[in-house]
Structure 1
Amino acid sequence: MTGDLDPAPAPARASTRRHVVVMGVSGCGKTTVAQGIARATGMVFAEADQFHSEANVAKMRAGQPLDDVDRWPWLEALAAWMSEQDEQGRSTVIACSALRRAYRDVLRSAPPTVQFVHLAGPPEVVRARLAVREGHYMPASLLDSQLRTLEPLEADESGVVLDLRCTPEQLVFHAVSWLGE
């Protein structure tokens, strides 16, 4: 988290295009931060939840966690979208849980480079946010499942861990600074 860990350095940019995934458990602020990064940098924003199949959404609404069979097509669609945007000369920022290394590996499979901004912090902070969140199909009851699934960024993954207790503005500032924008 900001000040707690030394983030991996952002890699030198081979081109002007880049792809960023703002990751973390449901309710940590991924969408707000990703939209802020998009506004600050001009990157194209996407909400990964919009790429889920109707069956995945129905499963989550019913309080059932997704399994890997559910996730693979979703992750492949996200990687394909980033690749398409890259081919069109656009940089992207996606709000996506990307909880496991294997999921991040799929996201990294298509575009030349993908970097991660992991919003992390105490579960009780996330629970409090989920308790007041409205209009989202992901029930707070699935938070424990996400916390069990979460695998922190590894040293060889280009990313930074930010403390979700910071304000959204601070998180965007730290992320954009780390990206060198």
Structure 2
Amino acid sequence: MKIEVWQGDITTLAVDAIVNAANESLLGGGGVDGAIHRAAGPRLLAECEALPQIRLGVRCPTGEVRATAGHDLPARHVIHTVGPVWQDGQRDEPALLANCYWKSLQLAEKLGLHSIAFPAISCGVFGYPLHQAAQIAATETVAWQRSHREPRRIILVAYNAATYKAYQSALAAQGQPIEPPPSPLLPSLDLGLPPAAAH
């Protein structure tokens, strides 16, 4: 198996789980977070609000994960993870971003899921440099797939051509050329809307 890369809107994917690049409140925001909440409908927000707070306003600390149902999404589940805000790369940002990928995959395995799709975590308003983030995404997902059976399908979703190319380069550096997902995985994407950007 190889890591799959696809460019488009993650909220349209009919997979077992999509990953949400969330903030610590899990109550929605901009970019892919807001797009997922809009597509999933108000029941997603209600389920997130019901999750326990670790401290005021924090339901999921940076680098951790939480799972909810997909509600109105084609995906059955949403795995919420909070990526690091980029500062200078010397404040645990790489380790925290790696945790987002690895712990999302661990949770998907625990839930018995076969397919999972990731956005470019932390690459939007959180400011993580695209190529460095793509290297982490490729390293963690390839390492997981080499040592685990499930989820057997891992898709890196690019919201623009630059992100697609960054994934392509990062996977090639791991000795793995990219593969597009087979078309039956994907519904029609002609929504008349631009793809959502990640945090």
TM-score with structure 2 length normalisation? 0.38
Which one scores higher on RCO, CA 8 angstroms, separation ≥ 6?
Answer: 1
Which structure: greater helix fraction? 1
TM-score with structure 1 length normalisation? 0.41
